[in-house]
Amino acid sequence: MAIFSKTDDEEQPETAMEPKTSRPPSASNIKSVIGPSLVFKGEFSADEDLIIEGQIEGSIAHHKKHLTIGKQGRVKADIHAASVIVLGNLVGDIHSDGTVSLAKGCDVEGNIHCARVILEDGARFKGEIDMGDQAKIAAAPDDQEYPEAVRTQARLKMATSKANVKT
């Protein structure tokens, strides 16, 4: 009997080759990506989260979804989305019921209308921010609600930073 030969007398074990089943993605984790080589002009709307790495000019309607303008993204449009993260370039107004986040290195020219804004150090922004029409967000608690140790640490940091400032 040869090592690599097979005879009809030998019984081969049956191996069930089950096809890989992949569950369809749920609506909460579907993301569309506009690739860096795509250029789109007109009115854009989608029903899932969107990541833009290409160029869009016109308007973007994403009322109940999240929108990310990637580092390579170049957008000239007014945006309506649940939340917006900008890593690339945007010329246009942002309207959001949630949070708008401008990341380090982004460049935004336009007005922002939202409930919350996050501006990272190094983000470039030219425009106005309007948070007036949104639901009020709880303000930071008074000093009295912080433990004494936290207040002391804060005073030390402020004193140290003032001592390091040269006039």
Q: Which residues lie closer than 8 Å to 64 by C-beta, 6 or more apart?
A: 82
Q: What pLDDT is stored for residue 6 in this prediction?
A: 52
The full DSSP string for 2-51 is -SS---TTSPPPP---PPPP-PPPPGGG-EEEE-TT-EEEEEEE-SSEEE
Give the residue with greater pLDDT, 167 vs 91: 91
pLDDT at 27 over 80: no
Distances (CA, A) of 146 to 84, 110, 134, 152: 32, 37, 28, 10
State the Cα–Cα distance between residues 131 and 139, nearest whole angstrom.
Answer: 13
Q: What per-residue confidence (pLDDT) applies to 29?
A: 63
Per-residue pLDDT tens for 100-145?
Answer: 999 999 999 999 999 999 999 999 999 999 987 544 554 444 444 4
Output b/e per residue, 114-126; b: 16+ Cβ within 10 A: bbebebeeebebe
The pLDDT tens digits of the residues spanning 43-97 come to 988 888 999 999 999 999 987 889 999 999 999 999 999 999 999 999 999 999 8
The pLDDT score that the predictor gives to residue 7 is 54
Q: How confident is residue 20, by pLDDT bands cut at 50, 70 and 90?
A: very low
- The three-state secondary structure class of 1 is coil
Contact 50, 69 (CB under 8 A): no
Q: Which long-range contacts (CB under 8 A, 24 or more apart) does 106-112 make?
A: 106/69, 110/78
pLDDT of residue 132: 75
